[in-house]
Structure 1
Amino acid sequence: MSVPDRLADALMSHTRIVLVVLLLTTAVVGAGMPMVDDDSSLDQFESDSDEAKALERIDENFTSEQRENATTVQLIVRGSEDDNVLTKESLIDSLELQQEIREDESINETLVENQSMVGVENVIATSVIKNERAAELNETRSRLSDGLNTTVGIQRQYEQLNDSYNETDPEYQRQAAELEAQLNATVENATAGLSETQTARYEAAVQDVREIESQQYEIRSQTDAPAEDPEYQRLSAQRQEAYRNGTVGVLEAEYAALQSSEQPPLEEQIAALEDLDDEEFERTLEETLSGEGDDNFAIGFMPSSYEPGSTAAETRMTAITQSTAGDTAGGMESGMISDEILDSQLEIRDMAESHEQDYLVFGAGVITDEIDRSMGDSLAIVGPLALLFVVVALLVAYRDPLDIVLGVAGIVAVLVWTFGFMGWADIAFNQMFVAVPVLLIGLSIDYAIHVFMRHREQREADGADGTVRGSMTVALAGVGAALVWVTATTVIGFLSNLVSPIGPIREFGVVSSVGIVAALIVFGALIPAAKVEIDEFLESRGFDRRKRAFGTGGGRFSEVLTVGSTAARRFPLAVLLVVALITAGGAYGATQVDTSFQQEDFLADSPPEWTQNLPGGMAPGEYHAKDNLEYVNEHFQPENSQAQILVEGDVADDEFLNATDQARDDAAAEGGVAYTLATGDADIQGPLSTMERVAGQNESFNESFTAADTDGDGVPDENVSALYDQLFEIDEDAASQVLHRTDGGEYESARLIVGVQGDASASETTEEMRTIADDYEDRGDGEWSAIATGDPIVSHIVEQDLLDTVLESLLITLVAVFLFLTAAYWLAGNSASLGAVTLLPVAFSVAWILGTMYLIGMPFNVLTGMITSLTVGLGVAYSIHISERYRLELERQGNVWSALQTTVTGTGGALLGSAATTVGGFGTLAFAILPALQQFGIITGLTITYAFLASVVVLPSLLVLWTRYFGPDVSFDTAGATGSAPTASDGGEPTDDGGSNE
């Protein structure tokens, strides 16, 4: 007795034990299902490339403490040609919305401390308030200065009084009292409205001024040229210091606040705009958005099409910055958005929708929410549709309610095993895993159909004397080897994804493989045991459980299935010639398929209208992120569309800034990928541009910056390290964005940040930035290294990794499956060449499906990128069933045409039912909300169709030729072929009398 026979006999002899053990195992494994988390972050698809590691170092070294763990929400006001978003009313509405956001405690807790919300409205309101405060401070300073001048005059009168009278003289005392009263009145008038501390400081300055004036008065009275006297000069310097203490010194805190970047309270900002008359508002708006000067901060919130200085625009943006530090999700370092951030961004969106203005809220939390919801909505639509289709297909194939129920129960058990494994293995559910249920439904039902149909064939062959248990034993022995081989080759196909550098693809391969093995166990043991027990119970009570196998017994299905065998008998070479031509075309198209890893791949389109008529649990929600992303890309600089060049080494070298200047010019060159601001300048930030901006705002740094430029080309070429030190002293936040300074004060790296156009492809961006980085290195002469990185470049690396995964997994799968099949057939005592023949149609179908992807313009993405391994896995399953059945029938019947007829009607019928249910199952993915899932469903459905056609149309011709030249010595006599092919197949060896060993 062969191994399959013994195993099948053992399973069917202990069906109740099998049921108990496997049901308990299902419960234990299924306990892991509640532990499955979800993760929709695109960062998980990044590999450990040099570019990704460089981006990690940037995140660690180049962000200020406040912005280190932060994410930005873009709050965009959209208008139209006749709807100006720069009116005073529009700006006030935005400030009121910010006020609502601030007043919401749950949102406010997520905001960073300083400048958490910044837009044109804030810049203009703050400018108005600071101008008013500056005017008030200047007025107060002038009053204080006048008071000190008056103090000097009063003190001179004191000195003159001392010269004229004795202190005991009543006239002296009278005039002195009058002068003291004048002095007190002067101080009181000058310090009106000041605090006690400020008043005390001013009074101290007044006292100093009086003492200095007294001493200078004495020197003037003793010399004709007091200005030349050293002591007089010293006292003059002290007087200047006393004046500073009494004016600027008294108002030091107020002047510091005026220079601070901290915004005034929103209430004051709103009031400031409301108090402006139309003329003042227009003037302030023009000045703020003129684009002139070194600091074009406000214009950065305007679209690229905005005309600087214009008082009308169709759209503008406000940036809302939230802190992710301390998030339970691990902050942005893990690429995940915490529930707190996600909920707050959704709440901001709800608040914005309550305003009359058209607001667009775009942020990582909003995107994550839509991706998560689209996955759930896709499952809610696809799951029931797939199950419904399978049930209908099984109803046609089985025509037996009980077998349908067993099939569906088996599918549920397979899914429980699979998702339970994910929970125990701590594998998160991501976008790719939405396809897993549909994949396993299709593959599981494939196993079920082959087992059930073979059992029905055997029961019909056994006749009235056969038993349920005996027929199932023979059926499992016959189909068991093929199922094991199918499982092994399909698992090989999916495990080939382990070579991928992309983590989720590796996980998908592992989880799919576990699910396939689970399908073998469930439909190879659990469901057959359950069917035997139930059928025996029913037949013992008089119910006949005999059913005809699908595709047998003649009829239209049988006629369709015999097309391949008929062609193989009449013109096999012609079939192969046509197939070769089609395959050659497909192979060419395969070389032209694009690769894509774009955020849009995972953003749902607006659901079609028919979905709104679905039952409540299946009806999808609304999706706007994809359209919003297109709008943002068209008008603004998206947050994640930044390329960066990381330079590591001696960045304080005198030549470094010249190299930076050249790199900046190269990046800003016309026709490049750099984003152009409304001012017409490229959005490029680096050490040099930061220093230029600070020099335009700070006089002392401007002097140092100019002094360090010895050749007058606008680029410092000496004392670079000292210049960096001063930059950190003046504006540490800006400096830390472009320079990394160690705790020891050494400068080890710098970066150039290049804003990228929203429509620039990742490959174009990568190519241009790598060229600039190479030039950077060439100019460094070994002093520093440069690498191009950033989100667009890391995305391009993912695209390349996807392409590598496709090629490597295809090669590995084909080689591994070839070795497995040839070894399996050889060990089974058959010709090893049958393994190559079995695999050849699969290679054909791979070329067909890749050529189809090219024709319909479908790129490789994280889902369709696995289509090659899926094609091999599914295709070889169909081929194995045909080849193995043909081999068995050839041994049993001894005639090529009879064996082929039995194979294509018996196993071919099962394959047709399996293919129909699998295609239908995957085809339902076309109704998914996620575009990537739609593409995956369409291409997988085509893959299964091609695999089926290759197995029942192409493979018969290959098998005939193989039998003629490499196979056993059997009859090719068409007259010897049975007119009506036998349906029995026990998988055993022929007996001595030519019959089966049933």
Structure 2
Amino acid sequence: MSLPDRLADALTAHTRVVLVVLLLATALVGAGMPMVDDDSSLDQFESDSAEAQALERIEGNFTSDQQENATNVQVISRDDNVLTKESLLSSLEFQQEIRANESINSTLVEDQPITGVENVVAITAIRNDQAADLNQTRAGLEDGLNETVGLQRQYEQLNESSDESDPEYQQQAAELEAQFDAVVENATVGLTENQTAEYEEAVRQARQIESQRYEIRSQTESPEENPEYQQLSDQLEGVYQAGTFGVLEDEYAALESDEQPPIDEQIEALENLDDEEFERTIEETLSGDADDNFAIALMATSYDPGSTQADVRMTSLTQSSDSDGAEAEAMGGVDDRIVESQLQLHDLAESQGHEQEYLVFGSGVITDEIDRSMGDSLAIVGPLALLFVVVALFVAYRDLLDIVLGVVGIAAVLVWTFGFMGWAGIAFNQMFVAVPVLLIGLSIDYAIHVFMRHREQRETRSRSETQADAGTAGDVRGSMTVALAGVGVALVWVTATTVIGFLSNLVSPIGPIREFGIVSSVGIVAALIVFGALIPAAKVEFDEFLEARGIDRRKRAFGTGGGRFSELLTVGSTAARKVPILVLVLVLVLSAGGAYGATQVDTSFEEEDFLAEDPPAWTENLPGGMSPGEYHAKNDLEFVNQHFQREGSQAQLLVEGEVDDPDALAQIDAARDDAAESSVAYELATGEEDVQDPLSTMERVAAQNESFNESFHAADTDDDGVPDENVSALYDQLFETDEEAASQVLSRTDGGDGGDEYDAARLVIGVEGDASAADTTDEMRDIADGIEDGSDGRWTATATGDPIVSHIVEQDLLNTVLESLLITLVAVFAFLAVAYWLTGNSASLGIVTLLPVAFSVSWILGTMYLIGMPFNVLTGMITSLTIGLGVAYSIHISARYSLELERQGNVWSALRTTVTGTGGALLGSAATTVGGFGVLAFAILPALQQFGIITALTITYAFLASVVVLPALLVLWTRYFGPEVSFDPSGASGPTPAASDGGTPASAAHDGSKNDGDGE
């Protein structure tokens, strides 16, 4: 007795033990299901590439203009004109409502959490009023000092011309002192006590200096030429400075402060502006003349600077992503509190629709939509897949008990699979939405093959023997033993090859793809255990129980017994008998076309791949639990990309090495120009590109700080705008002057001798939101190469940033496709060759079995090209999936053909038995699998829709290849490489020979050699 026979006999002889053991194992493994977490973050798809590592170094060594552990939300106002006073006031009032919402307000950072055009305009109005009042006060202080100097001259003239003891002198002197006091009193109205004291000191010093100057003038004809007089004049100028700007130093500093006045003050300031003042303020704020163009960055790229007309503008909210209290559960890399607050912000914005339309776009909103789309997709496709399988099983089985057992088996497989994920700590992500459908479609194949072979066996025995002579081979246990022994080897081979196909994804550098391969492999093994042991044991127990009570459980196998299905399934065997060469030629031509199309398939890894579009109208009629929600993020993303620079749409160049070398700075300057001219660079409304680097930072700081400005220009000895000496010292001064700005573009380390060493610099280049990752990567890499030219290894440059890291993922996906294809083909070929050789067949039969699968791979890739479907994180696995799934169909056909050829000895009768018996089971399994995957077309996630469509086509191609192409290959193999059997054409006609082990004995069938008949 062979090993498969012994295993099958042991299983059917101890069905109750099998049931108890496997049910306990299912409960144990299933205990891990509650431990399955979810993760929808796209960061998990990033590989450990040089570009990703460079981005990590940037995040660790540089600061960002965005606060640490913070995320931005873009609130975009849309209306006919969003620059009217009413529109800006409405936005400020909306900000008050945001602040009043505790859930939202608690997530906002402390420093300038909300900034919009409305704030900038209102603050400009406030600052203008403050500046006007301040200038008026300063002018009053200056006038007082002028009056003081004039009064002091009168005082000196009085002293010069009068006797101090003269009563008239004393009276005039007292009047002058009173005037001095009046000057101080008038000039210091509204000032604080300290400011008044400072001004009084300035008045005292001015009187003293003017007294000294008067004395020199009275003694010298040309006092301006007197050095002492000039020195006193300079001192008097300093006193004026101290008595005006010095007294008001805090007020002038407040004008330059970034701190925002309270919202109610901003609202009041706007309300107090008349129409002319309002338009003047708008023009001033949005003229684009400011050094940092901050307000312009909040306007769309189509905005005309200085215009008072615009249909869209932006307000930016900054939220802290730190967990509040207990560590918050992460949802796709975004705190759940952030997600919840952004959803509340979205609802709050929706309630403002009667004022003006608001669009809320942020990582929390995107995370919510991705998470909901996964849940909604499962809610729709899960029941549909199950319903389709039940209907298909009803057609194939026509038996309620077998259908129930199939559904129970599917549930057990899912419990094993998700239980394993929980125990292994594998999070549920976008890709794993396909797993339930994948396992529903695949695992039921095992049941169909076992059940159909079991039915064939019982049907065969009932026809060939009397009940008295049937023996154990015709009863429930005996038939199941024969069925498991007959199909068991093929099932093990199918499992092994399918697992090989999935595990080939372990070569992928993308973590979720590797995890998908592992989980799917575990699911397939679980399907073999459940449908190869648990469900057969349950079927034996139930069938025996029912038959003991007089209920006949014998059923006809699908595809046997004649009829339209049987005739349809014989198309392949007929073509193999009549025109095998023609079949092969047509297949080769079709495959060549598919191979060409395969080279043209694009690769995609974009956020849009994971964002759902608004569900179609028919979903509104689904039951409450299946009805999906609304989805706007994809359209909103397109709108944001079209009008604004989106957070994360930045490329970065990391320069490492001797970045304080003047030559390095010159290369960075050239790179800045190249970046600005790049076709992917984001252009502000002013027409300028958004590029930040050490030079632009120094230029901005120099425009604001006189001392650094002098040093900056002194270091530029050739006046080309790029410092060429003392660069390290200039960097030191930059950090002293504005450390926050400097640390965004320069990285320094402790030199060990009290000084700093600069080891890295970066350029941040804003890119168009709709620019392709490939174009961005190519252009940034060219710029990086330009920085390295001529550096002699003194510095290196790496192009990185989110768009470039995304392109690396695209490349990794393409490499995964190619590598997994090669590995799967080689591994499956080796496995089949060895397996067939060990079972007494020629190893060449393994090649023949695999060829139709290779053909179907080219067909499916060509189809992807024709319908414009790219490789993404799901469709990128289609090659290994095609081989893993498709080879199952070929194995079942080849294994059955080999078995029937040995038993019947005639090529045509063996082929006819194979395509009607096993082919019928394959048709049933293909129908359930195609339907299971096909329902993914109704998923909300676009990537899942594509995966479902292309996988359903894959199964269809694999089935057609196995029942149409493989028979012709098997005939050719038998003729030239196979055993000595009969080619007598009479075996192709008449009734289908008995299936399974009930065929004609080989000895009786060998009525001719393999050259008997020409096969045509």
Q: Percent identity between the aligned chains?
A: 78
| Partners of 2:62 and 2:746 within 8 A in 1 | yes
Alpha-carbon distance change, 988 to 228 in structure 1, aligned in 2, over 3 angstroms: farther
Alpha-carbon distance change, 70 to 780 in structure 1, aligned in 2, over 3 angstroms: farther
**Equivalent position amino acid for 1:693 in 2:** R
Match of 1:888 in 2: 899
| Aligned pairs (5 A) from 1:65-144 | 67-79=67-79, 83-144=80-141
Kindly state the Cα deviation for residue 211 of structure 1 after the two structures are TM-superposed: 5.6
Q: Secondary structure at the match of 1:247?
A: helix
Moved more, 142-151 or 9-18: 142-151
Deviations 1:449-505 (A, max 9, x none): 111111111122233443212211221111111111100000000000000011111
Match of 1:500 in 2: 508
| In the alignment, structure 1 residue 357 sits paired with structure 2 residue 356 | yes
Match of 2:737 in 1: 730
| In the alignment, structure 1 residue 536 sits paired with structure 2 residue 539 | no
Q: Secondary structure at the match of 2:246?
A: coil
| Aligned pairs (5 A) from 1:474-485 | 474-485=482-493
CA distance in 2, matches of 1:646, 1:336: 25
| Partners of 2:902 and 2:1002 within 8 A in 1 | no
Deviations 1:844-900 (A, max 9, x none): 100111111111111111111000000000100111111111111112222211111
| Aligned pairs (5 A) from 1:336-735 | 336-355=333-352, 356-463=355-462, 464=467, 465=470, 466-669=474-677, 672-735=679-742
Alpha-carbon distance change, 250 to 562 in structure 1, aligned in 2, over 3 angstroms: same
CA distance in 2, matches of 1:24, 1:451: 23
| Partners of 1:66 and 1:112 within 8 A in 2 | no
Match of 2:253 among 256, 261, 264: 256
Q: Secondary structure at the match of 1:806?
A: helix
Moved more, 808-817 or 24-33: 24-33
Q: Secondary structure at the match of 1:74?
A: strand
**Equivalent position amino acid for 1:311 in 2:** T
Kindly state the Cα deviation for residue 342 of structure 1 after the two structures are TM-superposed: 1.3
| In the alignment, structure 1 residue 48 sits paired with structure 2 residue 56 | no
| In the alignment, structure 1 residue 288 sits paired with structure 2 residue 285 | yes
Match of 1:739 in 2: 746
| Partners of 1:329 and 1:338 within 8 A in 2 | no
**Equivalent position amino acid for 1:605 in 2:** E
Match of 1:864 among 859, 875, 878: 875
Cα RMSD (Å): 2.8
| Partners of 1:324 and 1:331 within 8 A in 2 | no
Match of 2:981 in 1: 970
**Equivalent position amino acid for 1:668 in 2:** A
CA distance in 1, matches of 2:194, 2:375: 63
Kindly state the Cα deviation for residue 513 of structure 1 after the two structures are TM-superposed: 0.5
Kindly state the Cα deviation for residue 959 of structure 1 after the two structures are TM-superposed: 1.1
Alpha-carbon distance change, 219 to 986 in structure 1, aligned in 2, over 3 angstroms: farther
**Equivalent position amino acid for 1:461 in 2:** T
CA distance in 1, matches of 2:956, 2:262: 66
Deviations 1:62-119 (A, max 9, x none): 224862322221211223xxx1111111112122222222222222232233332222
CA distance in 2, matches of 1:169, 1:89: 71
CA distance in 1, matches of 2:748, 2:41: 31
Deviations 1:671-702 (A, max 9, x none): x2222222222222222222233333444333
Deviations 1:186-233 (A, max 9, x none): 444333323344344444444555565666677777888777777766
| Aligned pairs (5 A) from 1:194-205 | 194-205=191-202
Match of 2:320 in 1: 323
CA distance in 2, matches of 1:611, 1:224: 100
Moved more, 350-359 or 679-688: 679-688
Give the TM-score normalised by the residue count of structure 2: 0.93
CA distance in 1, matches of 2:330, 2:798: 21
Match of 2:936 in 1: 925
Kindly state the Cα deviation for residue 314 of structure 1 after the two structures are TM-superposed: 1.9
| Partners of 1:209 and 1:239 within 8 A in 2 | yes
CA distance in 1, matches of 2:225, 2:688: 54
Match of 1:785 among 772, 792, 796: 796
Q: Secondary structure at the match of 2:805?
A: helix
CA distance in 2, matches of 1:693, 1:227: 40
CA distance in 2, matches of 1:537, 1:705: 95
Match of 1:30 in 2: 30
Alpha-carbon distance change, 292 to 435 in structure 1, aligned in 2, over 3 angstroms: same
CA distance in 1, matches of 2:903, 2:567: 23
Q: Secondary structure at the match of 1:655?
A: helix
Alpha-carbon distance change, 322 to 332 in structure 1, aligned in 2, over 3 angstroms: farther
CA distance in 1, matches of 2:974, 2:1003: 22
CA distance in 1, matches of 2:1001, 2:190: 114
**Equivalent position amino acid for 1:78 in 2:** R
Unpaired runs of 5+ residues, structure 1, are none
| Partners of 2:38 and 2:331 within 8 A in 1 | no
Q: Paired residues, what number?
A: 991
Moved more, 756-765 or 876-885: 756-765
CA distance in 2, matches of 1:862, 1:950: 26
Unpaired runs of 5+ residues, structure 2, are 1007-1016
Q: Secondary structure at the match of 2:334?
A: coil
Moved more, 619-628 or 865-874: 619-628
Kindly state the Cα deviation for residue 373 of structure 1 after the two structures are TM-superposed: 1.0
Q: Secondary structure at the match of 1:263?
A: coil
Match of 2:14 in 1: 14
CA distance in 2, matches of 1:580, 1:114: 68
| Partners of 1:328 and 1:338 within 8 A in 2 | no
**Equivalent position amino acid for 1:44 in 2:** Q
Kindly state the Cα deviation for residue 147 of structure 1 after the two structures are TM-superposed: 3.7
| Partners of 1:460 and 1:984 within 8 A in 2 | no
Match of 1:834 in 2: 845
CA distance in 1, matches of 2:819, 2:857: 14
| Partners of 1:637 and 1:755 within 8 A in 2 | yes
CA distance in 2, matches of 1:54, 1:330: 29
| Partners of 2:460 and 2:998 within 8 A in 1 | no
CA distance in 1, matches of 2:714, 2:693: 20
Moved more, 963-972 or 194-203: 194-203
Give the TM-score normalised by the residue count of structure 1: 0.94
Alpha-carbon distance change, 333 to 472 in structure 1, aligned in 2, over 3 angstroms: closer
Kindly state the Cα deviation for residue 734 of structure 1 after the two structures are TM-superposed: 2.7
| In the alignment, structure 1 residue 979 sits paired with structure 2 residue 986 | no
CA distance in 2, matches of 1:44, 1:101: 32
CA distance in 1, matches of 2:333, 2:44: 9
CA distance in 2, matches of 1:334, 1:444: 31
Deviations 1:556-606 (A, max 9, x none): 111111111111111111111111111111111111111111111111111
Deviations 1:963-993 (A, max 9, x none): 1222222211122567222444259997988
Kindly state the Cα deviation for residue 58 of structure 1 after the two structures are TM-superposed: 1.7
